[in-house]
Amino acid sequence: MARCADVVVPGVVRWVESAAGPLIAVPEAVLPFWAGADGDETSSDYDRACEVPGHAGLLPVGDTLALVLGDEPAATAYLPEHGLFVRRYAAGSEVRLLAEVPAVLDDALWEPALEWRVPGPLVLFDAARPGRAATGTDHVRVELAPGRYGVSAAYVPRGPWAGLRLVRVGPSAA
């Protein structure tokens, strides 16, 4: 039986939120290796995620890498039609915000891309949680085929107090 977070409803965007720290997209194949905030109090996986600089970075987990969505906690959704994580900061209407995404993609100032080899589907969740419990909590499953991807972030202001952080995951140019 599928949990609510595993059910995909066409046209419905699922948002994931963090209690206070970064979100992480961990390949399903290595979920058991992510300990979250559990473990050694001076060097937990969560602490490692908090130390990743910038808005998007890669962090070793098992024999691969996970994508850390850093900076500030923000509600985050994955839009597969754009290969894009959308992070909203004090934005107004979700419907209006999502409708604006296609128009801002060309105008966004994208940071240099990171190279990421992905072994298959990902699970996006609060980095403080252990991977073995991630699918039992607030999460989104991201369907990615195994391969090489480029990851790039951009910030798009949407007024004096609102904005979008975009993290694009697309086929690598290399």
Name the CA dihedral angle for 14, 18, 22, 23, rounded to a multiple of 10 degrees: -30
- Compare 139 and 174 and report the one with higher pLDDT: 139
Domain that holds residue 72: 14-171
Whether residue 6 is contained in a domain is answered as no
pLDDT tier at 92 (50, 70, 90 boundaries)? low
Range of weakest confidence among 49-58, 74-83, 123-132, 153-162: 153-162
Contacts of 48 (CB under 8 A, 6+ apart): 59
pTM listed for this prediction:
0.88
Give the pLDDT confidence score for residue 160 in this predicted structure. 60
Whether residue 9 is contained in a domain is answered as no
Give me the CATH number covering residue 30: 2.60.34
Whether residue 159 is contained in a domain is answered as yes
Amino acid at the residue 68: V
Task: Give the number of domains in the chain.
Answer: 1
Residue 10's Cβ-side half-sphere holds a number of Cα atoms within 13 Å equal to 0
- Tell whether the model's pLDDT for residue 90 goes beyond 80: no
Whether residue 7 is contained in a domain is answered as no
| Dist CA 140 CA 172 (whole Å) | 23
Whether residue 31 is contained in a domain is answered as yes
- Tell whether the model's pLDDT for residue 6 goes beyond 60: no
Q: What is the pLDDT of residues 13-41, one digit of tens each?
A: 888 988 888 999 999 999 999 999 986 66
The answer to whether residues 27 and 60 touch, using CB atoms and an 8 Å cutoff, is no
Give the pLDDT confidence score for residue 2 in this predicted structure. 36
Whether residue 114 is contained in a domain is answered as yes
Show the 3-state SS of 86-149.
EEEECCCCHHHHHHHHHHHCCCCCCCCCEEEEECCCEEEEECCCCHHHHHHCCEEEECCCCEEE
